[in-house]
Structure 1
Amino acid sequence: MKKFIALFREPDGRQEPHDEAAIKQHRQNWAAWMERWSGQISGGSGLTLNGRILKDLETAPAADIYKNGTEIVGGFLLITAADLDAAADMMRSCPIFEFDGRIEIREYQNQ
């Protein structure tokens, strides 16, 4: 088995707020999904919007997070799978897609 990180990229929720019922259902879907894959998830978390961007040695860190348009990195999971294709298959059922999110999966370089 190999180790991977799944980076969750999603629209900044402050730009397009969702109603409370949709958010509640989304959270329930996440809980069920996490339970389904609990044997292959070894860590992870959502991320706050509090951060710093460092561009180089000379420039002071900026009190911000990296955005691509309104898209942000909203969280990550550490997962185990047989290979990259199996990791991608696992992520295909992820609730991130309900709110127009995307997932980037990367294999650990050193294991």
Structure 2
Amino acid sequence: MTKYIILVREPDGRANQPTEEQQSAHRANWNKWFEKHGPTGNFLGGSALSLNGKMIKGPDAQVVHDIHRTGTEIVGGYLLIQAENMDKAVEMAREIPVFEVDGYLEVRELMVTG
């Protein structure tokens, strides 16, 4: 099995605040994904990310008191999974409900080191 990281990119919820009903339905859909993939052993971990962060940039390693954004888009979290191959990893990722909030995912294979 190969390990993959899924980067969850989504609109910053503060820019376009969803209703409580939309938030509840979205959380329920995430829970369905975890309930399906958790018991298989293919979901290895992950977390939502807070909006509190710093970037370190440039040749002088300057500290910027903000997080990376593209317009109103942020990296909202990550998932660590394992799958037989990239196609199977993408198949798992396509079920993640981030698409219902105009988000998208990036699936990347982890490099084996050492």
**TM-score tier (shorter):** over 0.9
Aligned partner of 2:101 in structure 1 is 99
Note the aligned Cα RMSD (angstroms).
1.1
Q: Which amino acid aligns with 1:2?
A: T
Length, aligned pairs only: 111
Deviation at 1:57? 4.5
Aligned partner of 1:89 in structure 2 is 91
2:60 aligned counterpart, secondary structure: coil
2:70 aligned counterpart, secondary structure: coil
CA-to-aligned-CA distance 1:36-57 (integer Å, 9 cap, x gap): 0112111100000000011125
Structure 1 unaligned blocks of 5 or more: none
Aligned partner of 1:2 in structure 2 is 2
Deviation at 1:32? 1.1
Aligned partner of 1:23 in structure 2 is 23
Q: Among the aligned pairs, what percent are the same residue? A: 46
Q: Which amino acid aligns with 1:37?
A: H
Bigger mean CA offset, 84-93 vs 54-63:
54-63
Flag as ranges the 4+ runs of structure 1 deviating above 4 A: none
Counterpart pick for 2:57 among 52, 55, 76: 55
1:26 aligned counterpart, secondary structure: helix
